Amino acid sequence: MPEFLFDDVIVADDSPELQMHLADAHARKLRPLCMCLSQGVPMYVARAGKGYAIKRMPNSGRRHGADCTSYEPPPEASGLGQVQGVAIQESAEDGTTALKFDFSLSRQGGRAAPSASGDLSDTVRTDGAKLTLRASLHYLWDKAGLNRWAPGMAGKRSWYVVRSRILEAASHCTTKGESLGDLLYVPEPFVLDQALQLRQRRSARLATLNTSGKTRKFMIVVGEVKEIGASRFGFKLTAKHLPDFPLMLDEDIHRRFAKRFERELAMWSGMDNSHLMFIATISMGPTGLASIESMAAMVVNANWLPLEDLYEAQLLEALVGQRRRFVKGMRYNLPESRPLACAIVSDVPLLPEGIALYISKPGTDENESAALSDLIDASNLPHWIWRADEEMPALPHATGVAAASAHSQRPHQG
């Protein structure tokens, strides 16, 4: 449970007196300290409805302890550093975050060519200036805390929880002056005997798409794929919790999506209990049918933790099985060719900054091995490496005993 220092008083995050201290700090423009580390990390207080909320200072996430809710992984474990401050701009004035997207939420005139968003290019879309559709899904997952794990979370994540956290994360974001919460639709959990009420609420939520004139508005949808199949004149995506509301895809976007996200589709097909999450921009036609304009996908495991491949699935399974606490690395705009820490374990008391866990995968060429070695050398974090063509080594002990030996490991070359 986070604790905060107000002058000389330490107050827990669940204390009934917290709001009183926050109101006083806000009035005096006092910066409370998060006590995740002994020296404390400055925070700020912002208005939140009729009350107040304590928030991390912009771009200060890496200064917090790895087990703190305000912690953000360093660049070697997340693509967030590439887009933070450019595509993602946090404000200490009102506690909101402004996002810049590289996809459109409206269209003028005729139909533009559809896009399977996330089709990253090393030379075009990795400058961090704007978030791709896939990176936007990664951001929502990250800000919702769905890439974090602690033993107490076992069995407590459901679509209701996932949806609530995503909507909460979006409510603090804006894009081009509009609230992201107003532009985002995440379907409610489907309950058969409430189907009529759910349909009515969905229609009201999507009503802004039924506009006349030259400008057609889009909305962002985040959901779980149930199936993608052929329709009479193209293809359709059926989302879980939206059994009566298919999202239509034309042949071109279906082909491009299947090619771009071939790995994710294969993982979803081959992994029991996995979920294929999608993010899409949709428009609404005069018939009331929704069409996908752009789309990206991400695979998550049974605990809703993101996965890039089966090696990550094995490592996360081991971490969860050993009741470890960790943060899963998120790629954002970074291409798959760039090395990235799979996770940072945060339950080593002697190393509050955490230990970065890397996977050196079979078939890695010399350039990729060298890039991974350079990344580790440039990092201040202790590290652990699994050369996945060998048996997985013991994970760093939660007591911190294994930290020294973990730090000495290096990826082999070739």
Per-residue pLDDT of 45-62, as tens digits, reads 988 778 888 998 888 888
Sheet of strand 9-12: strand arrangement: 9-12, 3-6, 33-34, 41-48, 51-56
pLDDT (tens digit, 9 = 90+) per residue, 323-352?
A: 999 999 999 999 988 899 999 999 988 888
Residues sharing a CB contact under 8 Å with residue 400, sequence separation 6 or more, in sequence order: 348, 349, 350, 351
**Pairwise CA distance, residues 197 & 179, whole Å:** 25
Lowest mean pLDDT among 34-43, 120-129, 173-182, 352-361: 120-129
- Report the pLDDT averaged over residues 115-130: 51
* pLDDT per residue as tens digits for the range 148-157: 999 999 999 9
Question: How far, in Å, CA of 65 to CA of 354, rounded?
Answer: 8
pLDDT confidence of residue 358:
96
Cα separation, 198 vs 218, in Å, equals 21
Listed in sequence order, the residues at least 6 apart from 367 whose beta carbon sits closer than 8 Å to its beta carbon are none
**Are 290 and 248 a contacting pair, CB within 8 Å?**
yes
The pLDDT tens digits for 86-103 are 999 988 777 789 999 999
Residues with Cβ within 8 Å of residue 99, at least 6 apart in sequence: 87, 88, 89, 131, 136, 139, 173, 174, 175, 180
Which residues neighbour 108 within 8 Å (Cβ) at sequence distance 6 or greater? 214, 215
Q: What is the DSSP letter of 256?
A: H
Task: Report yes or no: 354 and 348 within 8 Å, Cβ to Cβ.
Answer: yes
- Average of per-residue pLDDT across 17-44: 93
pLDDT for residue 407: 40
Picking from 330, 332, 325, the residue whose alpha carbon sits closest to that of residue 341 is 330
Give the confidence band of 128 by pLDDT, cuts at 50, 70, 90: low
**376 against 125, higher pLDDT:** 376
Higher pLDDT, 288 or 102: 102
Select from 3.90.25, 3.40.1350, 1.10.3470, 3.40.50 the CATH code of 308-407: 3.40.1350
* Domain boundaries, given as residue ranges, for the chain: 1-57, 96-305, 308-407
More confident residue, 165 or 350: 165
Nearest to 6, CA basis, from 38, 46, 40: 40
**In the predicted model, what is the mean pLDDT of residues 216-233?**
94
Residue 259 is predicted with a pLDDT of: 95
User: In this predicted structure, what is the pLDDT of residue 38?
Assistant: 86
**For the residues 160-182, what does the mean pLDDT come to?**
95
- The per-residue pLDDT for 390 is 94
